[in-house]
A = this chain, B = another copy of it.
Amino acid sequence: MTAPNIETIVSLAKRRGFVFPASEIYGGLGSSWDYGSLGVELANNIKQSWWRWLVHERDDIEGLDSSIIQNRLVWKYSGHETTFSDPLVDCRACKGRFRLDKLQDVNCPKHPSVHPGDDKECDLTEAREFNLMFRTTVGAVSSEDDESALAYLRPETAQGIFINFANVLNTSRRKLPFGIAQIGKAFRNEVTPGNFIFRTREFEQMEMEYFCRPEDAPRIQQEFIDGFLDWFDSVGILRENLKLYEQTPEELAHYAERTVDILYRFFPEREDEEKQFDELMGIANRKDFDLKAHSKKPEDAEGKRLNQDSTEDLSYFDEQTKQRFYPYVIEPAVGVNRTLLAVLMDAYSEKTNEKGETRVILKLKPELAPIKVAVLPLAKNKPEIVAMAKNLKKQLLPVMRTVYDDTGGIGKLYARQDEIGTPFCVTVDHESLEDNAVTVRDRDTWEQERIKVSELKEYLRKRLD
C-alpha cells in the first residue's frame, strides 16, 4: 500500500517529528524544511545504505566530501555561469514572475482560474535568463559588487568530484574503471519550489561519478540503471511505482550522450497516469565533457586553450595501451530528500484494529527504521520493571538502535511505534520479573511472542536481518 498523496505524508511527518516547516515561528521561508529527530535518523540511514552499497561493498569506488563554496572558476568552466538558468517572464499586470517553460503549471496570482498568459489582462515581458546559483561574497571586501570576491553555493556536488579527479587518482592509485561518490548539500534558487520536500532550494544529493573508457560507458550506464532499481527495492520503494524515462534528444543536456531518469509515482492522486510520475533520479552518460572542461590542455580550432585557468590536465594514461585520453563519466545522481519522500510514501499503510479504528503503520525496511526496537515498561511506577526495561535497552543498543519509552499507556505506545516504523516493541511486564522473559510485538502483524531475555538479542537480530 502507498500513501494516497503527499499531503498524507506531510501531516504524518509534522505530527510525529520527521519533518517540520523551517523557520516556522517566523512564518517559514518558502518551501524550506527542517528534519526532526526521526527524519534525521531516516535520512542518515538512507545515506548510509547508499554509501555502504556503493563505497564499502564494491571495490572500485572512493568517497569524497568537497566544499560547498568553491573557487568561482569551477562554475565558469563547468558551464553553470552561462547555462544554468531558467527563462523568466514578468507580468506587468499582476506583478508575478514565472518560468516561461512552466506557465501551464501555475496559476495567475490575480486570476487563479487561469494560467499566466492565458488571460487577455496578462501582460508578459520578454523572457530573460535567471541563473539558479545562489551568490555570495567571500572575504572582507569593500563592496558586495566586488566581482573578485563573488562566489556561489554549489548547485550540485558533481563538480567537486571532477576537480578532485587527479587528487583521488594519485592518492588511491586507481586504474580505470573507478568511481568517486559524494553526499552533500546543494542549493538552487528555484523560482517555484514546492510539493513538500520534493523541490526545495536547499537539498541533499548523493552523486557518484564513474570514470571509464569511452567504449565501456554504454554498458556501465545500463548496469547502474539496473543497479539502482535494485537499490530502490532494497530500501522499500515499490517497483510498480517506478518508471524509466529515456530523455529525448531535445531534453538532453548539451554534454550528455544518453540520460535515463528513474521516475517515482509522487502524485498517485492525479487522474492522468503520465502526470503521476516525476523525477526521483537521473543516470547520465556525460561523456568526457567535465574532465576536458576543467583541463588546461584542450584547445580550440585556433590553438587557443579552452580553459585559461586550470593548472592540471585531467586526462588518464592507460599503461596497457599506452594511450592518453579523457575518461567518460557515468553519473547516477539521486536526491536524499526525494528518496526519503518515496520511502515514506511506500511505507505508509493503514490497518483497522479490533475496535474498528484505523491505525497508521509505517512499514519501513528495518535497515531504514529510525528505531529498531522500543523497550516499554508496562508499569512505569514500578521501579523493578523500569530498571529491567532500561537495562534491556542498554544491552540491545550496541547491536540495534533501541529506545526506552514510558511516556504513555501501552496501547498509545504501540500505536506511536507503529506510526514511526519501529519493527519491534519489547514489553516488560510484572511477569517478566518472575520468568525473565518479555513480550515481543511485531509492527506489521501485531502478533506477540514471549521470548526469554537470554535469547532476546539473538532473536531480534535474526528477525531484523
Q: Which residues of A contact B (CB under 8 A)?
A: 14-17, 20, 22-30, 32-37, 39-41, 43, 55-57, 59, 62-71, 73-74, 88, 97, 130, 134-140, 144, 151, 153, 160, 163-164, 166-168, 171-173, 180, 185, 187, 189, 191, 201-202, 294, 309-312, 314, 390, 393, 397, 401, 403-404, 407-408
Tell me the complex Cα distance, A267–B171, Å: 27
User: A59 → chain B, closest Cβ, in Å?
Assistant: 5
Q: Cβ of A59 and Cβ of B404 under 8 Å apart?
A: yes
Q: Known contacts being A73-B26, A311-B26, is A140 close to B37, with CB within 8 Å? A: no
A191: which of B34, B140, B163, B312 is its contact (CB, 8 Å)? B140
A168: which of B36, B55, B66, B140 is its contact (CB, 8 Å)? B36
Number of copies of this protein chain within its complex: 2
Interface-centre pick from A55, A65, A180, A312 (highest chain B CB count, 10 A): A65
A310: which of B26, B28, B33 is its contact (CB, 8 Å)? B26
SS class, residues of chain A in contact with chain B: mixed
- 10 nearest A-B pairs in the assembled complex, by CB-CB distance: A17-B171, A23-B71, A37-B62, A34-B66, A35-B65, A26-B73, A40-B65, A26-B71, A25-B312, A29-B71
Q: Cβ of B34 and Cβ of A189 under 8 Å apart?
A: no
Across-interface contacts of A314 in B (CB, < 8 A): 25
Across-interface contacts of A88 in B (CB, < 8 A): 140
Across-interface contacts of A62 in B (CB, < 8 A): 17, 36-37
Q: Cβ of B25 and Cβ of A310 under 8 Å apart?
A: yes
Q: Cβ of A39 and Cβ of B65 under 8 Å apart?
A: yes
Across-interface contacts of A397 in B (CB, < 8 A): 56-57
Across-interface contacts of A20 in B (CB, < 8 A): 164, 167
